[in-house]
Each structure stands twice: as structure tokens, then as C-alpha cells.
Structure 1
């Protein structure tokens, strides 16, 4: 059984305080602009494509890609480099995680540069993504994407098992029923129930993959008319003890404990859900747009995307990454020139063509570059249809710690079947202190 991951809070707090809020204001230095990112190999290839195009369009302007191994590594690298007085000029980060750096004055506000720019007009971008990166009334970062959760599904398997494909307006119960119908043994026979309930064999194909996390619980709690925190702007506690919160939690746990449609903990440890889907052993996967670059390498079957199922109303949860400039950047003007290019229509067309993003630039998102039906997913409009329904998670500085703590609790609930009352109590008790010391934008 997996336990909560070791938190980065102590490291981040120590190094950020030690820096006195960042290094000096240097605006010029020799060498390339340094950009810190993380991602799967296909994602990193997309950023290299963008950098190469920038070099061709702007000869003499160099950008060095610094590749973190994962999000935890990116956060640690950023914190320690700031502490050492040698931060990257730019970093790419999800809005859920940048608050800890914004609160310590590590991020350079961009308002003046945006106002003077001939290439970046805030009106060209989806407001929900722009607003996610405001802190203290200032625009700290500029978003490259405005993704949402969707349900990736294996069309070839659905056709083989003669199960109707997911469609807009389907409900949570519809999804569960579909997942049950798609959970099969190696002969293609439906496998009903969990091993503890006497299922004859382990499934060769599981019906659904879903991450047991607060960001997966949130949209369904919202869809049922509930909230996950007491105050989205200044949260002090989780509110999953409400009827809507309890229902969303129970339904998540039931996917494994009652129906056995998601892989076991041991199976996920051996093969993560994204790999399992790509290998044809997972019929559906709940994920954001970032999985598209990986799945476009699939040659063994056809796949597509469907919207999230609903409880009452269609509600999505924002997944958005933005380019942020550090206050201690040594080449701020050069960094801004690359940031302008990356965020402009030209830059967003390049990265969108790789499949990585749902462009935050409205015009690019509605163009054939993104909606190209010759590249999967064919139903890319699912991501655009969801934009008006997107809601953001709190950007309180301690939110990364909240996600870390809740992930361990929810993993134990899904895979071990911890009592719901105990799960809710643990979620509340272990996150209240985190909210109490959090800072808000």
C-alpha cells in the first residue's frame, strides 16, 4: 500500500526564506535563457520543437531547456536554485503549485511588460487561465494551455466488445456501467466484482483508470452542487463531510472496492494507468490533454476522448500551466522575448500541433491547428466545450501539501477500503493545519 509522499514543504520553506525573496534584479547576462520544465519524453520533445522554432525565427536568441524528472524534482530544483542565487530565467508550472513561490516573492510580475507588448493582448486568452495566475492583483505568469479532464477511451476495444461509446451528457452511473462492461478477462469475458467478492480471475482489461486524488474528486463534487473547501478564495478546511462530498468520495472508492473496474494498487505500481491504456489493457482513462502527446504514438488501436460524466451539471476542473519569470533571472529581457513568442499565436500553434496543449490563445484553440481531425483525438472539441464550465482549485500557498496529504489518504481508501468516516476525518484533521498557515493571492 502506498503512503503519502514525502513533502517538499520543509525544503521549500527553508530555501525560500533563506533567499530573502530571491536574487538580485539582473536584466542582462551572457548565455542562453534557461527554461525549467518537466514532462514525459513526448512533452519534452514538444518544448524542444518550440525552442528550435524560436531560434530559427529569432536568430541569435538561445534557450536552454532544463529538464526535471517529475513535478517533485521541478519544485525542488526551483527552490534550491533560487536559494543559491542562480534560478532559471523561466519555469513552466501548473497554477496549483506556483502559489508557494508567489507568496515568497520569487515570481516576477509581468503587467508592465504585457502592457508594452505588441504581441501579447490579454483579451486574446481564455480568462479562466489568465485569472488562475494572478496574485495580489498582478499577472505573475502567462498560461500556455487551458486543459480540462476528459475520458480517453479505446474505440477498438469498445467495438470489439460491442459496448456503446461514451457520449456527451452521460452520467456517473453510465460511466460505472460502461466500466463494468469493459472489464474483461483474457478471453474477452466480463469480470464482475472484486477478488474479495469472488471474481474468478484478474481482469486482462480494466474498465477505467482514475487517480485517487482531490483533483479527481473536485469536479464531481462541484457537479453535484457541492464545494470541496469552505471558501475558494481563502480556504480554511475541506468540506467533503457534506452529503455531496461524501457521495463523490464513496463513488470513487466503490470503483475499486465494490466494482473492481480499476486496477489494484499492486497493478498500478507495476504499470501506471497511462502505460496500461497505451498497451491496450485499460478501456478508459480519466486524464487531461497532456496524455495526448504520449497516446499519439499508439499504433495498435484507435482511441478518442469523451467529456467527464455528470452528476447534475457539467463542471470541469482547470488544468493549466504557465510560463513564469523569476525575480532573480539574469536575462529578463531575453526571457521575455521567448515568453512572448511561446505565448503568441505563432508559438501556441507550434506547441498545439504536437498535441501537448489546449491552447490558451482563443484563436489558436479554434483553428485547424488544434482541431485537426486527421490526428487523434477526433473529438478534440470536447476540450473546448468544457472551457465555459471550468473551475479552479485554490491557489493558497500550501495547496501542494494539501494535495500530497490527501493523495495518501485517498489511495488507502480506494485500494484498501478504509471506512468513509475515517477517511473524511483524516482528510479534515490533516489538512486544517496546512490551510491555517497558507498564504493567499
Structure 2
């Protein structure tokens, strides 16, 4: 991507949208990694190897780096490599570019005994990799590197990388959820620009959504003759297929409780899920699997960001995906040099200047490197405000483990039931009642039933 808060990432969602929920900081590839519940086979070469801190000598040799993403993301890694090798001329970084389902390809690498030395992991797959013994704990490396003090980073930056008291990745890419919106279309519909500080309500979302959505005859939802099968312009893309949790918390519900319960079928949670599904199947202001189509694409417009809409409770969410070292890395010292450079202040300054994500380092996140209002969007402070600990939620935060430690498996169980709700085939309360026992069994036993 040209940047997670870029025009390209905004447009990529669904065509001409009056407003869209999209990631501000976290890469789109984090939400569509294609990971499955099949954890990596460690094979003979992926057996965990004890960590050893970097020595005082200079590292050298080749580092094989497994990079997921698209061309724009790969371009950032190539820029980082160019700068890194000026500083470490004795280390050659070989970047293997992996578009599409990176996790399946990573599993194949592990099974064949040819794992990379390090990789751009995903918040959605890292716990599966850890449990399989595929990743190297980095705590001793961090402790012996003066560049890394966890308190220098945003509190959420390390959350997905820490498991059972150990750290398996360095924060590289991520951020918070925010509402991207097309200011030109808002103006045409007579809607004032959104506040960068105060979120709109769910009722306002529906009100604005009806004004912004148009069928190919220029009709709005609710007007006589409106045709939901022939939409020219949707108002809102809630990214509901893979980030539905905000609507649960926003309605006062819970995803995972402290004791491992998954009360998604209880009224507050189910009603929140039903609300976001109804945006497509009932109110017709957002894309829905029920109507397989896309609006027209407009590439020239002014845009900005605003806080996530507020329901009964104001909430936000966010995450960071790390760079990790494999347990079977053949050149751990050189691999550490590479991933630590990318995640250090020096490397993250490059990443931030290229517009890839919200810097995980507080110093950079609160500097003009990131907040420069001359570089769209104007109100990037929104992304930082959405990371406020008083409103920030992540699935499993009450347990102290991201998704209870089973991200891929949780989604594999949840998604088919949720898809039925998004299609309008089932009500959220019924679908979640069916899936709840399976999710709770997963968190209790670690097994998919």
C-alpha cells in the first residue's frame, strides 16, 4: 500500500464511498492473511533453539527475510534494506516477497526444513507460530540492546508479540481503527466535516449513510424506487467481515471474558453485531454479500479521518504486527541486526516517512514525522487518540491474551457463522448461540470442535 492512511488504501476498500472504516496504521494484509488453524509443522529444523544474546563482535553473512504484503510494502522493506546495508555492509539481506497467503507458504517452508531466518509476522498468526515452536524468544536480545526499552513504545505495541511471559517479535507495523471519509461527498450531501475529536453516534451514522448512498438512478435508501441491487455509491464500509468486535463493545457487550467465556449470544453483543450486519442487508448503506456489486471508483477527492462511531459506549481497537526471528534461523545474530534496525527509531523513522503505519515509538508517533498536517490526512492525531487506554479494547484483553491465545482458530470458528449473518441468512443472536460453545471449548482446551 502507499500507506495505511493513504488515498490508495482508502479507495481500495469498495469504490466511491462516502465514508469507510479502515485501518489507520495496521496493514490491510494483517486482516486477510489467509491463515488457517493448521499450525506450522516444526519438522526437524524448526525445533526451538535457546536464545543467545548478540555478541560484542560484528555480525556477518546472509539473512533470509520472509516479507508478506504487496508491492508498496515490499518497496518499504527494500528501502530499509538499502539503509541497513550501508550500516552493516557485511550482512546481506535477501528479501523473499510473499503476496497473498503468506502463512500457508510459511508453513510449507517450515515443513520442508527451509525456514527463513526472520519474517514479517501477523498479529493474526503469531500465537499459532509460537505454540508450534517456530519462533525464537527475543527477550535476551532486547535486554542486551540499548535501543530497546519497552516503555518507549505505545502500550499496545507489544501486546500481540508477548506470550506466556516471553516476547516473540518487535513492533513494526500497526495502529488503530479510524473512520476514513470523503470530504467532497460529504459536502455534496450537505453534511459538515466530521469532528476529529468527538465521534458521531450510530444514529448519525445511519442518518448520514442514507444521504450518502445512491443507486444508479440517483435514489437514496428509503425513497420510492430505490434499488439495492444497483448501487452507484455506498456510504459506509464497516470492514465488518473481519473487525466486528467494535460493534459488540460499543453496544455494551463483551467478546471474551476474564474466565474465558464468549458471550456473543447475549443481547448487548448480539444486537451490536446485528446492527452492523443490518447496515448492508436492511439499511443498504454498506456493501453486503447479499448484493454482489461495487460502486464506481473516483480517484480525485479530499479526505480525512475521524474517530470510530460511538454506540452506548465509546471504544476503539488497534494492534501491531511484529518482525520475528525463527527458532531455526541459521544466522540469529545477523537476523537480530536486521529486524532490530527495522523496528528501532532509525528504521521506524523511514517507515513513518513513507506513510506505512502509526509509529509504535511514542517519540515518533507524537512528532511531525507522523503528524505533519501537510501530508493527508490532516487529522492524524485521531489515530493516536484512538489508542487511548481508557477506550482501547482488544479481544481477550480481560484474559491477558490476544484472542485468548488462539487468533486463527477463533476466527476459523467464528467467521462461517458471522458470514451467514452478513448475508442475511441468520440473525446474529441465533448464529452466535450456535458458535459460542465451540469458541469456549477452544479457549478451554485449545482444540477446534
TM-score (norm 2): 0.81
Kindly tell me: are residues 218 and 209 of structure 1, through their superposed partners in 2, closer, same or farther at Cα, counting changes over 3 Å? same
Matched, 1:205 2:228: no
Q: Distance in 2 between matches of 1:368 and 1:36?
A: 31
What SS is found at the alignment partner of 1:151? strand
Kindly tell me: are residues 261 and 331 of structure 1, through their superposed partners in 2, closer, same or farther at Cα, counting changes over 3 Å? same
Matched, 1:407 2:415: yes
Matched, 1:69 2:94: no
1:351 counterpart residue number: 351
1:133 counterpart residue number: 161
Cα-to-partner distance string for 1:26-66 (whole Å, 9 max, x where unaligned): 99998531222222322222222222222233333322222
Give the counterpart of 1:107 among 135, 138, 142.
Answer: 135
Kindly tell me: are residues 194 and 52 of structure 1, through their superposed partners in 2, closer, same or farther at Cα, counting changes over 3 Å? farther
1:44 counterpart residue number: 74
Matched, 1:8 2:8: no
Q: Which has the higher strand share?
A: 2
Q: Which has the higher helix share?
A: 1
Where does the alignment leave 5 or more consecutive residues of structure 2 unmatched?
1-32, 397-401
What SS is found at the alignment partner of 1:173? helix
Q: Is the 8 A contact 2:201 2:311 kept in 1?
A: yes
Matched, 1:263 2:287: yes
Kindly tell me: are residues 202 and 334 of structure 1, through their superposed partners in 2, closer, same or farther at Cα, counting changes over 3 Å? same
TM-score (norm 1): 0.82
What SS is found at the alignment partner of 1:144? strand
Kindly tell me: are residues 193 and 81 of structure 1, through their superposed partners in 2, closer, same or farther at Cα, counting changes over 3 Å? farther
2:210 counterpart residue number: 180
Kindly tell me: are residues 191 and 92 of structure 1, through their superposed partners in 2, closer, same or farther at Cα, counting changes over 3 Å? same
Cα-to-partner distance string for 1:158-206 (whole Å, 9 max, x where unaligned): 12222223332211221122111110134654243799xx637622000
Where does the alignment leave 5 or more consecutive residues of structure 1 unmatched?
281-297
Kindly tell me: are residues 426 and 41 of structure 1, through their superposed partners in 2, closer, same or farther at Cα, counting changes over 3 Å? farther
Q: CA deviation at 1:20?
A: 8.0
Matched, 1:245 2:269: yes
What SS is found at the alignment partner of 1:81? helix
What SS is found at the alignment partner of 1:319? strand
Q: CA deviation at 1:419?
A: 2.7
Cα-to-partner distance string for 1:277-312 (whole Å, 9 max, x where unaligned): 9x23xxxxxxxxxxxxxxxxx5x1111111101123
1:291 counterpart residue number: none
Matched, 1:32 2:62: yes
The answer to which of 43-52 and 28-37 deviates more is 28-37
1:293 counterpart residue number: none
Q: Distance in 1 between matches of 2:51 and 2:137?
A: 15
Q: Distance in 2 between matches of 1:422 and 1:384?
A: 37
Mapping of 1:6-405 within 5 angstroms? 8-10=36-38, 12=39, 15-16=41-42, 18-19=43-44, 22=47, 32-70=62-100, 73-167=101-195, 168-186=198-216, 188-192=218-222, 199=227, 202-213=230-241, 216-231=243-258, 235=260, 237-265=261-289, 279-280=297-298, 298=299, 300-388=300-388, 389-394=391-396, 395=402, 396-405=404-413
Q: Distance in 1 between matches of 2:46 and 2:160?
A: 22
Q: Distance in 2 between matches of 1:137 and 1:201?
A: 51
Q: Distance in 1 between matches of 2:257 and 2:66?
A: 34
Query: Between Structure 1 and Structure 2, how many residues are aligned?
Result: 400
Q: Distance in 1 between matches of 2:71 and 2:414?
A: 28
Q: Is the 8 A contact 1:315 1:391 kept in 2?
A: yes
What SS is found at the alignment partner of 2:65? strand
Q: Distance in 2 between matches of 1:412 and 1:64?
A: 43
The answer to which of 377-386 and 40-49 deviates more is 40-49
